[in-house]
Amino acid sequence: MFSLEIDEIKEKYIESGKIAAKVRNFGLKLIKPGVKLVEIAEAIESEIINNGALPAFPVNISLNSIAAHYTPSLDDKTIISENDYVKLDIGVHVDGYIADTAVTIKPSGKDKLIECVEKILEESIKIIKPGVLISEIGNIAESIAEKYGYNIVRNLTGHCLERYNLHTGFTIPNIRNNSTHVFETGKAYAIEPFCTSGKGYIKDSSELLIFCWKKNTATRLYEARKILELSKEKYKGLPFAKRWLEKDLKINKFLIETSLRQLISSGALHPYYVLKEISNSSVVQAEHTVFVEEKPIIITL
């Protein structure tokens, strides 16, 4: 029975991975100079649904020194420029089993910084198998970054995945470390290096576009109660965008903002602040999800 359950779980991951890869490639074709970020995000999320899955988090489209957690609002006027580093980070889930994948594209053409992060991802996933120390990923990542002359973003990591849980268990550092954790059979892992020409650290900005449910709390605001209901029941406790609330609740932005502030203050919601590189240098990202067996499966390839 146990092996059957593992097989069923694996098939769910494989299905979500195939959809994530398909949608990532669909999204890459949309990234062109002059196109609005919100148009790309809305098209990608619709494509996920059209393929029989759901977004595991709002599509992240982070430009240049923004490392992660940027998803456009409905009235976002930001457009792609030819020399932007565009990080496209997509999460897909089938029945809660998540595939997480990311790629960086520069409309003017791939350069050494993008080559570096892609090489790190390629070499990292080659060594994954049951029992391998996760510290091996950091050894590979930092060695390759040094050869290219760039820095790893030291305070962003890969992560374990579980059903309806995007970041769980231990983290997977992209720097040299002494972790004794190992990759385990039947588990899914997101391998996710970030490289930069800057100092290699990110910090929270003041901008906040993505949230997730933490707990229910008492609130007098009807709109806040509706946000909690949506975040737990419809979004299944996974990260959601302010943009989604604007569409699902159909109430004015002031009430949404007021409700979100109250829910964060009470500890009901977790805020994902937009992350920026501390020296304002460009950041690139690459990511695949791996389901570990004796012969591991890169489900988002």
Lay out the sheet containing 297-298: strands in order across: 165-172, 158-162, 188-191, 288-291, 297-298
Instruction: Kindly report, residue by residue over 48-60, the tens digit of the pLDDT.
Output: 999 999 999 999 9
pLDDT band at residue 265 under the 50/70/90 scheme: very high
Both 286 and 168 in one domain: the answer is yes
Q: What is the pLDDT of residue 251?
A: 85
What domain range includes position 89?
2-201+278-298
pLDDT band per the 50, 70, 90 thresholds, residue 3: low
Percent of the chain clearing pLDDT 70 (strictly above): 99
Give the per-residue pLDDT at 250. Answer: 86
pLDDT of residue 133: 98
Statement to judge: residues 143 and 187 lie in one domain: yes
Per-residue pLDDT tens digits for 209-244: 999 999 999 998 999 999 999 999 999 999 999 999
Please state, in angstroms and rounded to a whole number, the distance separating the CA atoms of residues 67 and 200: 11
Beta pairing, strands 194-196 & 240-241: unpaired
Sequence-separated (6 or more) residues with CB below 8 Å from residue 61: 37, 40, 41, 70, 71, 72, 86, 87, 88, 89
Average pLDDT over residues 69-93: 98
Residues 142 and 196 in one domain: yes
- pLDDT on residue 1: 34
List all residues 6 or more positions away from 90 whose beta carbon is below 8 Å from its beta carbon.
20, 23, 24, 27, 44, 48, 55, 59, 60, 100, 101, 102
Domain match, 167 and 261 both: no
- Residues serving a catalytic function are 89, 100, 159, 167, 192, 287
Please tell me whether residues 157 and 265 are part of one structural domain. no
CATH number reported for the structural domain that contains residue 228 in this entry: 1.10.10.10
Q: Per residue, what are the HEC states of the chain?
A: CHHHHHHHHHHHHHHHHHHHHHHHHHHHCCCCCCCEHHHHHHHHHHHHHHCCCEEEEEEEEEECCEEECCCCCCCCCCECCCCCCEEEEEEEEECCEEEEEEEEECCCCCCHHHHHHHHHHHHHHHCCCCCCECHHHHHHHHHHHHHHCCEECCCCCEEEEECCEEEEEEEECCCCCCCCCECCCCCEEEECCEEECCCCCEEEEEEEEEEEECCCCCCCCHHHHHHHHHHHHHCCCCCEEHHHHHHHHCCCHHHHHHHHHHHHHCCCEEEEEEEEECCCCCEEECEEEEECCCCCEECCC
69 and 158 together in one domain: yes
Q: How many CB atoms lie within 10 A of CB 59?
A: 25
Query: What is the number of structural domains in the chain?
Result: 2
Q: What is the CATH number of the domain that holds 18?
A: 3.90.230.10
Strand partners, 196: 151, 283
- The reply to whether 114 and 193 lie within a common domain is yes
- Written as six digits, the tokens of 127 are 């060594």
Q: Mean pLDDT in the chain?
A: 96
Q: How far apart are CA 107 and CA 2, in angstroms?
A: 47
Do 28 and 96 lie in a common domain?
Answer: yes
Same domain? 17 vs 123: yes
The answer to whether residues 255 and 289 belong to one domain is: no
One domain for residues 256 and 287: no
Mean pLDDT on 161-183: 96
Q: Please state, in angstroms and rounded to a whole number, the distance separating the CA atoms of residues 261 and 263.
A: 6
Query: In terms of domains, do 87 and 188 share one?
Result: yes
Digit-coded pLDDT (tens) for 184-205:
999 999 999 999 999 999 999 9
